[in-house]
Amino acid sequence: MSVAEIESHQLAHEAPSGGSLWHEAGHRLIRNPTAIIGMVLVSLFVIAAIFAPVIAPTGPLDQNLSLLKAGGIPPGPSIHHILGVDLLGRDVFTRILYGARYSLMIAVVSVTVGLSIGILLGSLAGYLGGAVDSTIMRLMDVMLAIPGLLFAIGIVAMLGPGLRQIMIAIGVVNIPIFARLLRGSILSQRENDFVLAAQSVGVKRRGILFSHILPNSISVVVVQGTLAMATAIVDVAALGFLGLGPQDPSTPEWGTMLTDVQSYLQAAPWLAIIPGAAIVVAVLGFNLIGDGLREALDPKLRTRG
């Protein structure tokens, strides 16, 4: 086959099926096996979070100390407790399901906070330019100058530990990432011919921003948003693990569940392995979808395979 033939073949292969960018991207996404695995993992995570009270065999706080063996060692997985019980005789499977609720809720809220404020600041900076741009972006530079988790720890130290505080902290850490991303994207969109065309027919600045520039910049935000969900779940667990999460130690948050079990590694390793594996499943799911989306939305990456 000649180069021209190969190219025409590829073009025919990738011809838009008559839909928009999103329609096309959706098609490419469902043909991508890794993205599908990602969607399955995330679906499992979301189903666990939503239907926890229905699926769970017991309540997340139900203790049964009589299950413990001599020396307070919890028994391992069995038919009655498929993932074993913890140090207070609570069913680990139940607590993992309820833990999904916390992770999902905190991740969604904190990414939404970071994303919306970041988008607002980034679009203001990118579209208005000048002094507004440099003020906002210098502020973002300062926020990025402090390594993410340390920044979050500083915020939690200020607000005090707790669930709501963690959401705020992770949200704030996400702001400069989205602001920078959107500003960069808008700056490149602004030079496009369709923006010039809209300007020349007299569309107002705000109209251009909302109906021409933002819709075209949004794909990078969607990709980053998915990947930010993965990072947020890890960060939530990390703050929980450091003891900055929910202050009630009975809260079934995955990171918090990993805190106290280190001294029982020898006797009951599953107490550490199971919450950790749950985190990996959720994070891997979002990472796979994010990667798949990036490939589906980026025409340059598409051809590289």
C-alpha to C-alpha distances, 58 to 48, 80, 85, 157, 183, nearest whole angstrom: 14, 11, 11, 35, 49
What the block records as the tokens of 251 is 């809260």
Q: d(Cα 304, Cα 301) in Å, to the nearest integer?
A: 5
Q: How far apart are CA 205 and CA 202, in angstroms?
A: 9
Min separation Cβ 256 and other proteins, Å: 12
Cα 284–chain centre separation: 10
What tokens does 66 get?
């009589």
Question: Under a CB-based contact definition with an 8 Å cutoff, are residues 169 and 156 in contact?
Answer: yes
Task: Kindly indicate which of the ranges 21-29, 115-123, 200-208, 241-249 contains the residues binding other proteins, using the contact rule CB under 8 A.
Answer: 241-249
Q: Does 269 bind other proteins (CB under 8 A)?
A: yes
Torsion angles phi and psi, residue 85, rounded to 5 = -125, 160
Is 160 a binding residue for other proteins by CB under 8 A? The answer is: yes
Nearer to other proteins, 19 or 243 (CB): 243
Output phi, psi for 35, to 5 deg.
Answer: -65, -35
- The answer to whether the CB of 14 falls within 8 A of the CB of 302 is yes
- Write the interaction track for other proteins spanning residues 11-50; mark x where CB under 8 A is met and - where it is not: -----------------------x----------------
130 binds other proteins, rule: CB under 8 A: no
Please pick, from the candidates 85, 125, 181, 238, the single residue that binds other proteins as defined by CB under 8 A: 238
- The nearest distance, CB 92 to other proteins, in angstroms, is 15
Residues that contact other proteins, how many (by CB under 8 A): 44
> Interacting stretch for other proteins, rule CB under 8 A, among 51-59, 100-108, 214-222, 260-268?
260-268
Q: What is the contact surface with other proteins in residues (CB under 8 A)?
A: 34, 138-139, 141-143, 145-150, 153-154, 156-158, 160, 230, 234, 237-238, 241-244, 255, 258, 262, 265-266, 269, 272-273, 276, 279-280, 283-284, 287-288, 291, 304-305
